[in-house]
Chains A and B, each alone.
Chain A
Amino acid sequence: MSSLLEVRGLGKTFSAHRALADVTFDVARGEAVALVGESGSGKSTTARVIARLTPPTEGSVQFGGARLSNRAFRARVQMIFQDPFASLDPIHTIGYHLARPLVIHKRVTNKSELGARVRALLEQVGLSAELVRKHPHQLSGGQRQRVAIARALAVDPELILADEPTSMLDASIRIGILNLLRDLKEQRGIALVFITHDLASARYLADRTLVMYAGHIVESGPSAEVMDAPKHPYTKLLLASLPDPLRPFTSAPISSPSKSGCPFASRCPEVHERCTSLPALHSITTTRSVRCHAVSASS
């Protein structure tokens, strides 16, 4: 499969804080890739840099093998945000939100076509066309997130960046949004970069999962393999932290990321002298990579 998105050596520094370091990965056409990690691990910053909402300090993002203007880029890459109340303008109708991208990106030629396209967008995300005249406050959280997805679909994008699209929604609503995103990938071949802190959702939706810690990718591979047989000590800790009725809550020490060397060294149960130097993200199989001195291709 050819790469649609190529992220190379991305670094981002906010004043003295290093939010991203050496972030490199590809997304193939029609592929869903999950970025998982705790708050502050750099997953949202990665998406914001890819979406051109903030420039990187180092590295590059290539899309479709071409240099694109911002407008041409946004006609092909769209983003969905975490909070569907904040991402919709309270003074405008749902119809207005969906018409704007169609007009700006010249996807319609006349007014009657515009109305039909807006209604079709609502139907594509499982909403009634009657919502056109409603305002965001008249919709539930799940409906609002569907509107945000419909707005992203207006330009017929090749890639959607979804930043925690379900974390503000109630449990009974979440799975519907995940299923909608999965249908877009499977039926329309839209590639997804799915950001989440929920490993089970990552496995449900994404072909591959990248685990981030302190701005670094520490592990990557097919989602099911990463969950079933994690290699990096951080991934193991993350999986062991999930609520499980069979494992009662017992304490684990917590400390901040290390400033130099392996960022996980200060918390790692398998820490070693060599961990004072930063390990490279190296391949251990054809599909899996790990950033850890203790994990080699043979182990």
Chain B
Amino acid sequence: MSRLVVEDLRVEYLTAKGRVRVVDGVSFEVGPGEIFGLAGESGSGKSTIALAVLRLLKQPAAITGGRIVVGGRDVTAMSEDELRRFRWREVSLVTQSAMSALNPVIPIGEQIADAIEAHESVARKPALARAAELLSLVGIDPARTKSFAHELSGGMRQRVVIAMALALQPPLVIMDEPTTALDVIVQREILSQIAKLQAQLGFSILFITHDLSLMISLCTHIGVLYAGRLAEVAPAAKLTTPRHPYTQGLVTCFPALHGPRTELVGIAGAPPDPRYPAPGCAFEPRCTQRLAICGTCAPALVRIEKHHEVACHRC
């Protein structure tokens, strides 16, 4: 059974000037042991989807349509009390900025123990012992339980946040740009740790990043978001030869490290303003392969082959 089912999800900002749709009809599933990547630029809706799954959206953002099913239960219908028990135990979150995710005045071991105590009837001492175990699981000396966040490097802080996310062994962990603030060497180290732990413990990951090359290396499946809609969904290996013009453009936005130095063109223009939605495909103004229909009718996400879906009139 899928760990996470997102079905026709719609998120809108309910502003005084009207509704602004930032996630529009997004559907995908994350199976057991899968690492599902959501790729997209700023404003594409990827972090909004992560927050929606945890029901952490703040006003004026609200889920205005669709379902989110975790462990057979609809998250959109949960009460506050149910949510309190659901978050962290069923789905946990690793955010981008580990410094602001950690409390600066409480030792890291105590913070991990607090999370365990909030969900299980366990005494302080065994909770602290588990915190030490979790730290060693992510490659940090268990003696560091007494350290404060500012005494750790950026990479170590991020590993503490990962340890906290795994504290209650949830079947699904959401990771929102977990290595974006780190340099490439530390990034590789942390992603290797994540891949190892995932293989060892079997949890699923919803992994969010704007870095497509990183995503192709790490994930099993990838969904590419553009302006709040999924443009393409495919197994990671298939995205090296993408079908949607936006994904094709993204792949050519990264200079190569070796081989001939070729001129790159990137994608002209900028993503649309969600306050002024166009009637057709959101990518149409920037698309080099547009057809007449693209300006008037938004394409649906359709299966072009097994596990490969594309929202484009050309496919």
Contact surface of A with B, Cβ cutoff 8 Å:
38-39, 140-143, 170-176, 178-179, 197, 199-201, 203-204, 224, 227-228, 237-245, 247-252, 254, 256
Contact = CB atoms under 8 A, between A and B. Distances in A.
Which of B42, B194, B210 has the most CB atoms of chain A within a 10 A radius of its CB? B42
B253 A175 contact: yes
Contact of A176 (B139, B196, B266): B266
B97 interface: no
Given A175-B265, A179-B264, A204-B261, A248 B250 contact: no
B184 A172 contact: no
B41 A197 contact: no
Chain B: interface residue count, which band?
A: 35 or more
A197 B184 contact: yes
B191 A172 contact: no
The dominant DSSP class at the A interface is helix
B27 interface: no
A38 B186 contact: yes
Contact of A243 (B155, B193, B217, B249): B217
Nearest to A143: B270
13 contacts: A38-B183, A39-B154, A171-B253, A174-B253, A178-B255, A179-B263, A199-B257, A242-B188, A242-B257, A243-B188, A252-B188, A252-B189, A252-B192
Contacts, number: 118
B266 A238 contact: no
Nearest to A142: B270
B184 A38 contact: yes
B258 A241 contact: no
Given A39-B183, A200-B256, A224-B261, 10 more contacts: A171-B211, A172-B271, A175-B264, A178-B264, A242-B188, A243-B213, A245-B240, A248-B195, A249-B195, A254-B155
A172 B195 contact: no
B186 A172 contact: no
A171 B261 contact: no
Contacts of B194: 249
Contacts of A250: 192
